[in-house]
Homo-oligomer: A and B are copies of this chain.
Amino acid sequence: MAKPTINDIAHLAGVSKKTVSRVINRSPLLNEETRERVEKVIRDTGYVPNPQARALALRRNFLVGLVHDNPSAQTVLNVQQGILGALRDTEFEMVVRPVDRGSSTMLTDIRDFISRQRPFGVILLPPISENDQLAELCQELGCRYVRMGSAQIDTPDHMVASNDRQAVMEATRYLIAQGHRRIGLISGPHGFRSARERRQGFEEALSEAGIKLPRSLIADGNYTFESGIAATQSLLDVSPRPTAIFASNDDMAAGVLLAARQRGLSVPEQLSIVGFDDQPLAARLWPPLTTVHWPMKAMGRSAALKLIGDMIDENEDIEEPSMFVSTLVKRGSVAPPEA
């Protein structure tokens, strides 16, 4: 049989379409036996409402857009899992929209996407989430949005943030507590808010301990494995060389590990390493990487709930948190410096 429509159900149940519609939408003003009769027909026929038709009539659809520019594979996936967990058992679907932040047409591309699909809302991943023009664009187009990122750069209803600065401060304090004084930093790319926050957390922890950080112990990275290798090479050329390195993400930390090995330095005995992200990779390296856990899955879930919360919450008073704390995961890549 062809797919039944609301008309078929109405006919079979001997009621009007509107009544069927009321049953579907759990309208309170409905005779109980009418409801049961209609529900039986729905069950028997396996009828499901057509989302496209609903979208047209309601003038809103059930798509949540995930707009991103490949922060890192694992990050994207964690966020997706979080979002999909929140969307589970709702009528919402997640559509993924990758963009190219290097392209001059990025804003136009996103504008086209939003004005074409008119998604119920969009979730913006870092680093493009840091782009204020993008947020303004969403406002202008009347599209709900939630930004994810490493600092509170929007109002709580539009933002799910991690406190990267605080987390890196704690990680750095841990290195200091282990006895390290010469600690190198590999920063993230210029212009990334996450890079700035992590760097500031690092610097604050040092200054709080009264440690002066020579400029030579700060190396530029761009979040790639290769940049981690290159940055480490320059850091290890400094004399006296650092006894520990904080890399602003795990991929770069993996590069540190490789570069250290190439120099014949043993980790953690001769060089301690701390990363950021807590990707699966971190636990697979040797020694396993001490790193900051970035709760992107939980944040993705929260972002999605912020977006659709109003539509599904029976009890609307559940307020999604807009700030998440990252925690240090201690594994094997940190030890006290050699005498």
In the complex, chain B residues whose CB is within 8 Å of the CB of A56: 50, 52-53, 56
Cβ distance A279 to chain B, nearest Cβ, rounded Å = 9
| Interface of chain A, main secondary structure | helix
> Closest B-chain residue to A64, C-beta based?
B95
Do A117 and B93 touch (CB < 8 A)? Answer: yes
How close is A266's CB to chain B, nearest CB, in angstroms? 12
In angstroms, how far is the closest chain B Cβ from the Cβ of A141? 9
Quote the shortest CB–CB distance from A233 to chain B (angstroms): 16
How many residues does chain A have at the interface if contact means C-beta atoms less than 8 Å apart? Answer: 43
A195 to B284, CA, bound (A): 22
Copy number in the complex reads 2
Contact with B along A44-56 (1 / 0, CB 8 A): 0010101111011
A324 at the interface (CB under 8 A from B): no
Asked whether any CB of chain B lies closer than 8 Å to the CB of A305, the reply is: no
State in angstroms the CA–CA spacing of A56 and B285 once bound together: 52
Closest residue of chain B to A81 (Cβ to Cβ) is B98
Q: Mark A247-270, 1 if CB is under 8 A from B, else 0.
A: 000010011011001000000000
Residues of A within 8 A of B (CB): 3, 46, 48, 50-53, 55-56, 61, 63, 73-74, 76-77, 80-81, 84, 91, 93-98, 112, 115-118, 225, 251, 254-255, 257-258, 261, 280-281, 283-286
